[in-house]
A = this chain, B = another copy of it.
């Protein structure tokens, strides 16, 4: 079913204990689109880039099924740029550079051909922009999934709360859930966050997997123990892309569907961390993904 994804398309420069990159392809919409394209094509992207964005990256994304009609190219500006350095434990990082560039004035355009979309993924962006996209769709999608981060809780909490009222599923990490709710217990936090609007909440816990909450129910997806995490950049966006992609492919809407979507998202995220940036997602085979999902099944299975 038709899918629209919104988010940054950008450059990242990444430093990990394993090495460092120059400016490479990054951005939430990039990871989301590549992950979602495992399930549905086209993935209709809404984003903005500058004159420095590479044609070859655009072409790579199109060859993976991205429709870039909704991606504005600003001729006199530069693309969003982020640079960060991961600590040895790979669980925390320092931001070295954030250049908003084109994102600072992003006014999202919804092409006519995107109207009527049934699934909408709002990648991490200003909650104002996320809300504008919802408002600019003439009919409300069947399922709206949204990511956000602590930065917006710090500087735009009121706007974030407005946007939360309009969505179905919020996907955030444990630290963000604690900040947004003010509760340390994730169970209490989930209850409080769902009172803000979303009917479903996914809390990502990195190597510890993810929790899915809805209406008194909870599902715990395991984290796959990995020998090595090479670069965590984009893993959360990849998770979100896998989640919405699975839902859009299957037409899913209920808790059981979302449990499976969490597993597929987790499987894709486990690939993402194996190489720098989105490299491992490029050309990823469906058979590889399905084999990884079977590892998750085996990992979590027990019979009482």
A residues with a Cβ closer than 8 A to B are 88-90, 184-188, 190, 205, 207-209, 211, 217-223, 225-229, 256, 259-260, 262-263, 293-294, 297-304
A205 to chain B, nearest CB (A): 7
- As for how many copies of this chain the complex holds, the number is 2
Contact of A263 with B304 at beta-carbon distance under 8 Å, contacts A184-B89, A218-B299, A299-B219 already known: yes
Q: Which residues of B contact A217 (CB under 8 A)?
A: 298
Separation of A55 and B226 alpha carbons in the complex (Å)? 49
The docked-state distance in angstroms from the alpha carbon of A90 to that of B184 is 10
* A89 vs B178: C-alpha distance when bound (angstroms): 11
CB A165 to nearest CB in B, in angstroms, measures 25
Q: Is B222 touching A220 in the complex (CB atoms < 8 A)?
A: yes
Please state if A220 and B226 are interface contacts (CB–CB under 8 Å). Answer: no
A220 and B297 contact, CB distance less than 8 A: no
Q: List 15 A-B contacts (CB under 8 A).
A: A187-B226, A188-B228, A209-B220, A218-B299, A219-B299, A219-B300, A219-B301, A219-B302, A220-B222, A222-B222, A256-B302, A256-B303, A262-B302, A263-B302, A263-B304
Beta-carbon contact of B211 and A208 below 8 Å: no
A303 to B263, CA, bound (A): 10
In addition to A187-B225, A217-B298, 19 A-B residue pairs with Cβ atoms within 8 Å of each other are A89-B184, A90-B184, A185-B225, A187-B226, A188-B227, A190-B225, A209-B222, A218-B225, A219-B299, A219-B300, A219-B301, A220-B225, A220-B299, A220-B300, A221-B302, A222-B300, A262-B302, A293-B304, A300-B300
Q: For the complex of A and B, list the 7 residue pairs with the smallest distance between their C-beta atoms, beginning with the closest.
A: A220-B222, A208-B208, A187-B225, A259-B302, A220-B299, A187-B227, A186-B225
With contacts A218-B225, A225-B211, A226-B185 known, is A297 near B293, CB below 8 A? Answer: no
Closest-by-CB residue of B relative to A190 is: B225
Chain B: minimal CB distance from A229 (Å)? 8
Whole-angstrom distance between the alpha carbons of A293 and B304 in the complex? 9
Q: Which of B218, B227, B300 contacts A302 (CB 8 A)?
A: B300
A1: min CB distance to chain B, Å: 20
Residues in B whose Cβ lies below 8 Å from that of A190: 225
